[in-house]
Amino acid sequence: MKGRAFLFVVPAAGWSGLIARENGKCYIFSPMNPVDTSPIASIATPPGEGALSIIRMSGDGVLPLADRLFQGRVQLSTCAGYTVHHGAIVDGDGQVVDEVLATVFRQPNSYTGEDAVEFSCHGGTAVARAVLAQALHAGARSAAPGEFTRRAFLNGRIDLSQAEAVADLIAARSDRARRISVQQLAGKLGSAVRDLRTSLTDLCALLELDLDFSEEGLELIPSGETQDRIRAVLTSVRRMAASFETGRILREGITVVLAGKPNVGKSSLFNALLKENRAIVTPSAGTTRDTIEENIEIEGIGYRLIDTAGLRTAVDEAEAEGVSRTLASARGADVILLVEDLSEAVEEEEIEEMLSKLHENQHLIVAMNKLDLCNTPPSSLKFQKLSNRGAVFVLTSAKTEVGIEEIRRELGRLAEPSNLGLEEDTPVVNRRHKEALEQAARSLERALETAQNGTSNEFIALDIREALVSLSEITGEVTSEEVLNRIFSAFCIGK
């Protein structure tokens, strides 16, 4: 079945093209935009001062074009790929713009699959801009966001899930997020999806062949086997889609909201966990008015810490807004870090209200703070209620920094693979992939139903082909130009 193309996509409103890839080749069906291979250029490093800035250029005829701005002992257009050359970037008057190193790439062995050159110049906004200006002056066009990666995809260097992994890798804020993106970039998700597609394509071929033989009363594949094979793929597809929740946590981090009554020490604990005086702390209740967010990393996992306004009946409009923001943050949190003041009598109402709004899979850690002011262990009906709700209690003193490490340990424990239900070693982290998997699962459920009803193989094959299209969308074997535009517009310029 390899090499057989399958396309049946109903153009949607605003549809302007279809990209299909088969065996590494790319077919563009677009009435509007043929593949653009013209030379593009952009700064690939972030703005600001640094040791180096990189200006990259790619496209047809880019090396002769680079010769116009680069002056060295050799002409770049005569150089082999993967070679580095010292020289200078010069302007139209022959004035030196900067001294640079030029790396030459020859197609197809470059990031984009095209001829390409990268100039490493001195780091700095003005220098990088001046080199880019010369590249543009020589005839390159400014690259659109993600255009280099888009070309890498269109030239068959990487599949779409790998292209998306590039953006995820750049955006990775924790070590675990980085590791998942690196695996996806290496094509792990793509190859898992391709294995599923192969199973379905083979099954489809058998079912369609079976049709030809059925008139002669021969059965190539018994219905029971068809169902088993669909079920096997369906199980994998469902498992991959379900791994998204874990993937989301690993990618975006775990959201922890510090909540509680005013003055209990939320901001003090927030600062202690961050190891910096980020939030204002004062002895008066109602100090924090708005939510404050910061990120920390524990055991390679990112945590988004949110300090909030204390929960009480608000004394003015601003505080009322703060309290409603606290409740909104608490609703979206993975973990509530409820702070209690051990030196104060326990009051229940606002916190009861907040707890009543928590959903089942939110973790609850209770920091019993101001331990330094308290000699007797706390006992209260409320703590019993919290305990029934599955709360973990930690005795803390933000003042003497007691219990801070224990809170970190508790937060770290939440991200252990067994607690995350991490079955897949590379969970799906991208919402588009998850949706495509869910779509494929729905088609396979229909295929299974059709098979169970004893309907003709033709109809089973139709549902399976639909599932194949959904799976192909993940790796980009079948993609609409709109999807590509959406994906790559989120990239940074120069990538």
Q: Could you list the residues that contact Mg ion (CB under 5 A)?
A: 266-267, 287-288
**Using an 8 Å Cβ cutoff, are 56 and 64 in contact?**
no
Q: Is 77 in the site for ligand GTP (CB under 6 A)?
A: no
Encoded one letter per residue, x for contact with ligand GTP by CB under 6 A and - for no contact, window 372-411 reads xx-----------------------xxx------------
Site for ligand GTP, residues 282 to 301, rule: CB under 6 A: 282-283, 285-288
Closest CA to 410 of 473, 460, 468, 367: 367
From candidates 190, 262, 427, 476, binder to ligand GTP by CB under 6 A: 262
Encoded one letter per residue, x for contact with ligand GTP by CB under 6 A and - for no contact, window 303-332 reads -------x----------------------
Q: Is 337 in the site for ligand GTP (CB under 6 A)?
A: no
Shortest Å, Cβ 289 to ligand GTP: 8
9: how many CB neighbours lie within 10 A of its CB?
Answer: 15
Q: Is 266 in the site for ligand GTP (CB under 6 A)?
A: yes
Q: How many CA atoms lie within 13 A of 287 on its CB side?
A: 16
Shortest Å, Cβ 406 to ligand GTP: 14
Pick between residue 268 and residue 480 the one whose CB is nearest to ligand GTP.
268
Q: CA-CA distance, 145 to 397, in Å (whole number)?
A: 48
> Residues touching ligand GTP: how many (CB under 6 A)?
22
Q: Is 267 in the site for ligand GTP (CB under 6 A)?
A: yes
Shortest Å, Cβ 266 to Mg ion: 5
Sign of CA dihedral 443, 446, 451, 455: negative
Q: CA-CA distance, 274 to 280, in Å (whole number)?
A: 13
Q: What's the CA angle centered on 273, arms 294 and 320, to 5 degrees?
A: 60
Shortest Å, Cβ 382 to ligand GTP: 17
Shortest Å, Cβ 287 to Mg ion: 5
SS3 255: strand
Q: Give exposure, 250-264, as e/b (b: 16+ Cβ within 10 Å).
A: bbbbbbbbbbbbbbb
Closest CA to 249 of 438, 436, 432, 428: 428
By a kind-dependent CB cut-off of 5 to 8 A, residue 291 interacts, out of Mg ion, ligand GTP, none, with: none
Q: Is 236 in the site for ligand GTP (CB under 6 A)?
A: no
Pick between residue 116 and residue 398 the one whose CB is nearest to Mg ion.
398
Q: What is the DSSP string of 375-428?
A: -SPP--HHHHHHHHTT-EEEE-BTTTTBSHHHHHHHHHHHTSHHHHT--SSS--
Which residues in 247-320 belong to E strands, given as ranges?
Answer: 254-260, 292-298, 301-307
| Residues binding ligand GTP (CB under 6 A) | 262-268, 281-283, 285-288, 310, 369-370, 372-373, 397-399
